[in-house]
Amino acid sequence: MSLKADYLKYTLHFRFEAGTSRGTLTEKTSYVIRLFDDENPTVIGYGECGPLKGLSSDDRPDFDERLCHYCEEFTELDLQLFSWNIPIVLNQIISPEFPSILFGFETAMLDFLAGGQRIIQASAFTSGQRSLPINGLIWMGSQAFMREQIDEKLQAGYTTLKLKIGAIDFEKECDLLAMIRDRFPADQITLRVDANGAFQPNEAMAKLERLATFDLHSIEQPIRAGQPDLLADLCRHSPLPIALDEELIGNMEYMQKFRLLKKIQPQFIVLKPTLLGGLRHCDEWIELAGRLNIGWWLTSALESNIGLNAIAQYTAQFKHLLPQGLGTGQLYHNNIESPLVVEHGQLYYDPTRFWNLSPLLVDVSH
């Protein structure tokens, strides 16, 4: 038995121009890790590394080179893999400077150990007996485009909407929120907003007060990351619950996580395994959030269905979930076909549907 690792670069193409406060996205590059035993190459464990441009701490020019190096190092170790030694392998091989590679290797190893069937955590979710509540994501764009998305999501049965804000005129964004609230009170439709750090410190509180008039559930990252004192003050005095998102990135040590949450005391945290170093790091954030009485939910970071599937199965181990940010599988023209299905604001795993991994079965050359 000799375990080998390689990877395939895969470019996902959006169905529309996806606007954020950091710019407009039309495509997304992911790197799909494949683990296999050369004596039984039909069993392949897949994991996805998908750094986000301008956001991930491992969005750097040498990413391909480092990923190639880690695959070669993994192969040279000639490992025997067990569930108990996955954290050891990750700690020994991969630098915490590459959180998306940690996530990719972690989930590829879990998939391989489970027989290469894309079931990393069997549950009522993977047997089709349970669904996960998700929010409908409204991307930034013109007021007309955002209104069109809102209508589509409401017609599709979503009861929680999340609007990206901070790119168009703030008054127009408030008009959209007012339009939704005029039609649907808070007990019918839950509204979240995500500013992606777009508010300036001197205007943040006034905008939070204005947004609070629309009975919002929460706002993600109102100001840019790296201002913990100001953010702690906002969390103490804001009339609108605040969720940390980008603020969590780069805190890879347990005590770093604890100090950050203890200092800022947010109402919620948003967990993106690709940006935070994988599922075991999410375990730490969730444990700390529980101790500090902080709510949380998980969100994809625009992964293909390979990464989304792993995050969804991880999420399904928890009960009494808030709506999660896992509705991104429909974003792309060329996503990997999978059993993941979105219906009526819920994410399902349909075991009668099959994976089509043919785009990932080509020979890999670096």
CA distances from 140 to 13, 84, 212, 291 (A): 17, 43, 20, 35
Measure the CA–CA gap between 211 and 330, rounded to whole angstroms: 29
Q: Cβ(7)–Cβ(67) under 8 Å?
A: yes
Strand pairing class (295-298; 268-271):
parallel
Is 73 strand, coil or helix? helix
Measure the CA–CA gap between 1 and 289, rounded to whole angstroms: 41
Residue with tokens 């590059």: 29
Q: Cβ(298)–Cβ(132) under 8 Å?
A: no
Q: Cβ(162)–Cβ(194) under 8 Å?
A: yes
Measure the CA–CA gap between 197 and 213, rounded to whole angstroms: 20
Cα within 13 Å of Cα(206), Cβ side: 7
Measure the CA–CA gap between 89 and 10, rounded to whole angstroms: 25
Distance in angstroms between the alpha carbons of the first and the last residue of the chain: 24
Residues labelled catalytic: 164, 272
Measure the CA–CA gap between 210 and 344, rounded to whole angstroms: 30
